[in-house]
Chains A and B, each alone.
Chain A
Amino acid sequence: MGYQRMRKKRWVPWALVTPALLIIVLTTIYPLLAAFYFSFHKYKLRSPPQFAIQIGDGGLRIDWSLLTLDNYTLAFRDSRFLNSLEVTFWFTVLSVALSVIIGLGIAVVVQKGGRLHSLTKALLIFPFAVSPALKGYSWRFMLNENYGIYDLLIDSLIIKPINAVLAIFNALPFVEIPLLSESIVWLGDRFWALFMLAMSETWGWAPLIALMFVGALGSIDGQIFEAARIDGANRLQIFFRVTLPLLRPVILIVTMLKTIFSLKMFDQVVTMTGGGPVRATQTINYYIHQVGFVRGLDIGYASAQSYILVVVLTICAALYVSLVLNRD
């Protein structure tokens, strides 16, 4: 009886999900399809667009001459676009590696009990809560060579002690080791600018990742570590042979999540580096935004670039799934 009543009311589940579906169609599916359609047109915001599909008095008409692959072919001749792909790749590698490694390090340190550790865990979420644009401004300020706290810290805690040690060696006869520069222009050097951009991202993400690892570490049965110790394993062996393999599923999920976010890097590029020096930090999202909304207002070309990115991401995701996830 109940089943038959449910069958009669099959429309109820549909009615419940329809609002959500409509919102997804309007905010995600429609823009995706529209961008795909635009990518085959010469469409700049500053002039009225001419689209292939035309609806007029004579009904629906398709003007095939207005469809073009020019935007796609242009992308592969555009050195700026190719550069942005390369920058995005290196930024992703750096920021993912730094976030996961530092996050894991923090987790190992704070996973132990105690009141202070609980407080530390609670505070860890704060960097992630800072808006990315603000993060960029803050880091630019903090890296300033005159009044930047990071610049001061790096000089005082790293460069000066190293130089002091090098100076001792240099006092020996026939030894002349060049000292490290105390005036690194962090955002004026191609490598350091990209590295610091990755660090600003790591600053926000590593604590969040640490919290994920803390949860995962807490769920590992203590008897496993006990058994390893009884078998004679030292701390390093336990970490690399027991802890890390057991954390593998979390590491994979965290890596995938961070990779997706790193590929979308935009805000800090705008507020921290402006894409510079030269083109060293022009990520693909930043470049697409410049092409579409700031420089050429070329929506057709920006759409084509976005779809090339979609293809690249799809290939990466497929490789990732086949190489990593399937193996598990």
Chain B
Amino acid sequence: MTLFRRISLLLALLAFLALPLGGALAQDVMDPATFGLDASKPYDGTQLQFLICCSTAPQFASAAVKGAEEFTAMTGISVSWGDLPFGSFQEQLYLEATNPNTEYDIVAFVDAWGTNIYDFLHPLNDFVEEAGIDWDDYGPAYQSASTGNSDTIYGLPFRGHPLLLHYRADVLEAVGMEPPATWQDVSAISQAIVDSGMDITPIAVQYGLNVDQNLFNWYSHLWGAGTDIFDDNWEPIFNNEAGVAATEQYMSYLRAGYSPEASVAWNEQEANQELVQGRAAMFVGWWWMASRMTNSEIPEVAENAAFAPAPGWEGGDTASYGYLWPVGVLAQSDSLDAALEYLKWLTHPLTERRIVLDAEDPALDTNVAVRLSVLADEEVNAVHNGLQGVASAVLADARTIPLIPEYTEIIPILAEAINELAVDSMADTQAVLDLAAEDVRFVMEAAGYYE
């Protein structure tokens, strides 16, 4: 027997032996029982409409593709994903959610926006219990964001984002510094980079007004310094002594020249672009952006891409904003049960795990997971170089912003105050924050919080 024949026979034997195994694996994800779905297909032929933004973004795209292939085969339910640009999504979400005749059944929403549509969402408490969804598999920040800090579950965590420090390992190594654990360390490392004479911006921070992205890192400073937006009586306290210190630290990266002058107008994407294109050494942003750095076309950026938890406050707390996209069902949906059936599949840990493991196609490659079990999964961490482990560490201390409807009116007041401090280098932090606090109080008073 020739060597070629022997190898062919061996391969054929292996393929034969692997058949049942492959079948079992395929059966797992194609078996309705795996996801708790009704195998009798009671909703066969139902067409669901899913209102979501940016469905072609890798963090969403994989679920859309797998759902169309697998969920529809198991249930006969087809789901049509919307694809609205992020900039116009908030408005569309509100208009559709408050429309009694909307064609949409399922909605994904940013945590802060959800507060305005809670009354139009189907409460999911009974569903979570009946479907046996392990609520404790979600971190505290994501639980808060899904319930609006109440007892009602308005949405299930779908895509969630901790803040990570994205940094250039080679630059930090060159100045002999470890990744910063605190914001004060960020300043020290930035100064070391400046002193070294390296032709690179120490840190890229977004201070511009654009969907309020200049607040994300400010929250970490504020909470780390031991203060908050409101006290227990909903009085604004971000302008107290700790708030002013936190804000001044946040502004110091710009005022000391560590973040370029142009960052007063940057949005999150533009700040991240500085890192990805090799002009900046550090950036603190959402973890879904990590792949941009690792896939940078500039070899020295991609090869030296490194990630660490978002910094905390020296001698204080480490707390950052855990940003969540919950997914919920509109109360006025005509296909409520079919929509809940879809949520079982969409938020199932097996679905989530398979999505993050599927890293072959760049269009579907995402590191984003929300369940603690998936974040702790060794295989998942192996595929993404331990990124989920870093995310878990951040989420342990993460929290969410005030989840009251009025907060959507307050966000621009705060974002403008931060932008004003950035634009006007001579502005007095205390005075600007005091003025913002007055405006915030005006909104809260009008809403009846102080009656």
Q: Which residue numbers of A lie inside 8 Å of B, CB to CB?
A: 45-47, 79, 144-146, 183, 185-190, 193, 270-271, 273-279, 289-290, 293-297
What is the chain A residue whose CB lies nearest that of B99? A45
B87 at the interface (CB under 8 A from A): yes
Which 6 A-B pairs have CB atoms at the shortest separation, nearest pair first? Answer: A276-B209, A188-B265, A188-B264, A187-B265, A274-B210, A277-B423
18 A-B Cβ contacts within 8 A? A45-B94, A46-B98, A46-B119, A47-B119, A146-B274, A187-B265, A188-B262, A189-B423, A190-B423, A274-B211, A276-B210, A277-B208, A277-B209, A277-B420, A277-B423, A278-B416, A278-B419, A295-B408
A143 nearest CB neighbor, chain B only: B265
Give the residue among A145, A294, A296 with the most B Cβ atoms within 10 A: A294
- CB <8 Å contact, A297 and B265: no
B265 near A277 with CB under 8 A, answer yes
Contacts of A277 in B (CB 8 A): 208-209, 264-265, 419-420, 422-423
On chain B, the residues within 8 Å of A47 by CB distance are: 119
* CB-contact partner of B420 in A46, A145, A278, under 8 A: A278
Partner of B87, one of A270, A275, A293: A270
Query: Which residues from A are CB-within-8-Å of B416?
Result: 276, 278-279
Contacting residues of chain B (429-451) with chain A, CB-CB under 8 angstroms: 439
B270 beta carbon closer than 8 Å to chain A: yes
Whether, in the assembled complex, B348 has its beta carbon less than 8 Å from a beta carbon of chain A, the answer is no
A193 to B209, CA, bound (A): 12
B350 shortest CB reach to chain A, Å: 36
Interface residues of B in 92-115 (CB under 8 A from A): 94-95, 98
Distance, CA A276 to CA B208, complexed state (A): 8
Closest to B208 in A: A276
Residue in contact with A276 in the complex, picked from B90, B94, B265, CB distance below 8 Å: B265
Residue of A nearest to B267 (CB): A274
In chain B, what residue has the closest Cβ to A293?
A: B91
With both chains docked as a complex, state the minimum distance between the C-beta of A48 and any C-beta of chain B, in angstroms: 8
Q: Smallest CB-CB separation from A277: which chain B residue?
A: B423
CA distance A189 to B420 in the complex (A): 10
Which interface residue of A46, A47, A186, A189 has the most chain B CB atoms within 10 A?
Answer: A46
Determine whether the beta carbon of A188 is less than 8 Å from that of B208: yes
Tell me the complex Cα distance, A62–B209, Å.
44
Instruction: With CB as the reference atom, state the residue of chain A lying closest to B213.
Output: A274
- A-chain residues with CB within 8 Å of residue B277 when the two chains form the complex: 146
What's the Cα separation between A279 and B90 when bound, in Å? 20
When distances are taken between beta carbons in the complex, the residues of chain B under 8 Å from A185 are: 261-262, 264-265
Q: Does B359 reach chain A (CB closer than 8 Å)?
A: no
Known: A146-B279, A278-B209. Is A188-B420 also a contact (CB below 8 A)?
A: no
Q: Is B95 within 8 A of A145, CB to CB?
A: no
Chain A residues lying within 8 Å of B119, measured Cβ to Cβ, are: 46-47
Q: Which residue of A lies closest to B279 (CB)?
A: A146
Given A45-B94, A185-B261, A277-B264, the answer on whether A290 and B423 have CB atoms closer than 8 Å is no
Contact status of A145 and B262, CB under 8 A, knowing A46-B405, A295-B412, A297-B116: yes
Taking CB atoms and an 8 Å cut-off, the chain B residues in 112-144 that contact chain A are 116-117, 119
> Shortest Cβ distance from B330 into chain A, in angstroms?
14
Q: Report if B303 contacts A (CB, 8 A).
A: no
Contacts of B211 in A (CB 8 A): 274
Q: Total number of A-B contacts with CB less than 8 angstroms?
A: 88
Interface size for B (C-beta < 8 A) is: 35
Is B379 interfacial (CB-CB < 8 Å)? no
B409 within 8 A of A: yes
Q: Are A275 and B95 in contact (CB under 8 A)?
A: no
CB distance from A37 to the nearest CB of B (A): 18
Q: Can you add 11 more A-B contacts, CB < 8 Å, to A193-B265, A295-B411?
A: A45-B116, A146-B277, A183-B262, A186-B265, A190-B423, A273-B209, A277-B265, A278-B209, A279-B416, A293-B91, A297-B94
Q: Which residue of A lies closest to B412 (CB)?
A: A295
| B209, B211, B277, B409 pick with most chain A CB within 10 angstroms | B209
Q: In the bound complex, what is the Cα–Cα distance between A271 and B279 (angstroms)?
A: 25
Q: Contact at A275–B98, with CB atoms within 8 Å?
A: no
> Smallest distance from the beta carbon of A120 to chain B beta carbons, Å?
34
A145 to chain B, nearest CB (A): 5
Contact B87 A294 (CB under 8 A): no
Q: How far is the CA of A45 from the CA of B98 in the complex (A)?
A: 7
Given A47-B119, A183-B262, A271-B87; A294-B209 close (CB under 8 Å): no
Min CB gap A294→B, angstroms: 6
A279–B439 Cα distance when bound, in Å, is: 14
Shortest CB–CB separation between residue A296 and chain B, in angstroms? 5
User: Complex Cα distance A80/B210, Å?
Assistant: 17
A66 to B265, CA, bound (A): 43
Give every chain B residue within 8 A of A270 (Cβ-Cβ).
Answer: 87
Do the beta carbons of A188 and B423 come within 8 Å of each other?
A: yes
Shortest Cβ distance from A296 into B: residue: B409
Chain A residues whose C-beta falls within 8 Å of the C-beta of B91 in the assembled complex = 289, 293-294
Which chain B residues border A271 with CB–CB below 8 Å? Answer: 87
- Contact yes or no, A274 B209, CB < 8 A: yes
Q: Complex formed: what's the CA distance from A221 to B117 in Å?
A: 65
Cα distance, A296 to B418, chains bound together (Å): 21
Contacts of A290 in B (CB 8 A): 412
A122 and B160 alpha carbons, distance in the complex (Å):
51
Question: Looking across the interface, which residue of chain B has its beta carbon closest to that of A298?
Answer: B409
Instruction: Give bound CA distance, A193 to B265, whole Å.
Output: 10
Q: How far is the CB of A51 from chain B (nearest CB, A)?
A: 16
Question: Which chain B positions have C-beta within 8 A of A279?
Answer: 416
What's the least CB distance linking B90 to chain A, in Å? 6
Contact B210 A278 (CB under 8 A): no
A145 cross-chain contacts in B, Cβ below 8 A: 260, 262
For the complex formed, measure the closest distance between the CB of B252 and the CB atoms of chain A, giving whole angstroms: 18
Cα–Cα distance between A297 and B408 once the two chains are bound (Å): 9
Residue numbers in A under 8 Å from B260 (CB-CB): 145
Whether B261 contacts A183 by the Cβ 8 Å rule is yes
B292 to chain A, nearest CB (A): 16
CB atoms of A188 and B261 under 8 A apart: yes
- A78 and chain B: residue at smallest CB distance: B442
Q: Which residues of A contact B420 (CB under 8 A)?
A: 277-278
Are A46 and B265 within 8 A (Cβ)? no
- Report B407 CB to chain A, min CB distance, Å: 10
Q: How far is the CA of A183 from the CA of B209 in the complex (A)?
A: 20
B residues near A144, Cβ cutoff 8 Å = 262, 270
* B405 cross-chain contacts in A, Cβ below 8 A: 46
- Min Cβ gap B410→A in Å is 9
Q: For residue A273, which residues in chain B have a CB less than 8 angstroms away from its CB? A: 209
Q: Once the chains bind, are A275 and B408 in contact (CB under 8 Å)? A: no
Within 8 Å CB of B90, what residues of A? 294
State in angstroms the CA–CA spacing of A277 and B417 once bound together: 10
Bound CA span A145–B260, Å: 10
| CA distance in complex: A79, B211 (Å) | 21
Per the bound structure, the CA–CA distance linking A294 and B116 in Å amounts to 10
Task: Output the nearest chain A residue to B413 by Cβ-Cβ distance.
Answer: A80
The smallest beta-carbon distance between A102 and chain B, in angstroms, is 25
Interface residues of B in 271-310 (CB under 8 A from A): 274, 277, 279
